[in-house]
Amino acid sequence: MDLWVTFIGTAASVPTAGRGTAATLVVRGGSRVLIDCGEGTQRQFLRSGLGLVDLDAILLTHLHGDHYLGLPGLLKTYALRGRTEPLPLIGPPGLASLLGALSGVIGRLPFALEVGEVGPGTVLVLDGARWDAFATRHSIRSLGYVLVEDARPGMFDVAAARALGVTPGPLFGRLQHGETITGIPSMFGRALTGPYGSVGWLTGYESLAQMEKANDAQAADPTMLKLIDSTQGCFVEDVGATQTTLYRKLA
Ligand SMILES: [Zn+2]
């Protein structure tokens, strides 16, 4: 999924001829999130060539004027354009009373402003990703935001699985659903595979019970690698040295 970050305003607290005050646009796939909305943000949108972006959410880092004074104009323009989509507006405590103070300037809006006063933690889930807030140091209460994408399991490597002796069919599906597969004779005596994300594991054990027993013994004594006589076809190898991945990471 594409991820674009556009620096809409990069001046500090005072704009310059070429720069606006704080505003950063993050576009991920079809979702558009603005972090801070300094004075003149809507003009900076136009100057950026993106046009007046219909935002899915606005996150404010803190309530100093250079981070929110662009809000009344932007919201007013959305109103004039007939926006009806609700707009989440998220920031630290004090945001609701700030909007109360600005209500006479902003006036009536034809869309809902979903105001959220937040602290550290997940503050927004959008399009399969979440936005987490974390505390930052400033002269007043302030937040930073991090975009966290869901883990992706990657692509199942059919050729690698076949080479390891897994027959196509239900076993492929079980591996792809994160299950641990045991009892494959060609794996006996070999290490585990499939270390990425929610991918399943292919083990050199004949059963889950054997594997658990071996894991318990190894946990109790990390130096004990060989747990069961290899003539029975089951033993623990140094996984880090010999493991093979069944998955290719997506770019
Ligand atoms: Zn500040």
- Catalytic positions are 66
Sign of CA dihedral 42, 46, 48, 49: positive
pLDDT tens digits, 209-221: 877 877 776 666 5
The confidence score (pLDDT) of residue 192 equals 61
All CATH 3.60.15.10 domain ranges in the chain, comma separated:
3-149
Centre of ligand 1 to C-alpha 100, Å, is: 20
Q: Predicted confidence band at 21 (pLDDT cuts at 50, 70, 90)?
A: very high
Q: pLDDT tens digits for 123-151?
A: 999 988 999 999 999 999 999 999 998 76
**Residue 44 corresponds to which tokens in the numbers above?**
């900076």
For the chain, strand residue ranges (E) read 3-9, 23-28, 31-35, 57-59, 87-91, 113-117, 121-126, 129-136, 142-149, 155-156, 180-181, 201-202, 247-248
Q: Are strands 87-91 and 57-59 parallel, antiparallel or unpaired?
A: parallel
232: pLDDT strictly greater than 50: no
pLDDT digits (tens, 9 = 90+) for 23-74: 999 999 999 999 999 999 999 999 999 999 999 999 999 999 999 999 999 9
- How far away, in angstroms, is 28 Cα from ligand 1 center? 26
Sign of CA dihedral 175, 178, 183, 184: positive
Query: Rounded to the nearest whole angstrom, what is the distance from the C-alpha of residue 64 to the centroid of ligand 1?
Result: 5
Closest C-alpha to 243, from 209, 174, 176, 196: 196
CATH superfamily of 3-149: Ribonuclease Z/Hydroxyacylglutathione hydrolase-like (3.60.15.10)
Gap from CA of 138 to ligand 1 centroid (Å): 7
In 3D space, the residue among 234, 190, 172 whose CA is nearest the CA of residue 181 turns out to be 172
Confidence of residue 231 (pLDDT cuts 50, 70, 90): very low
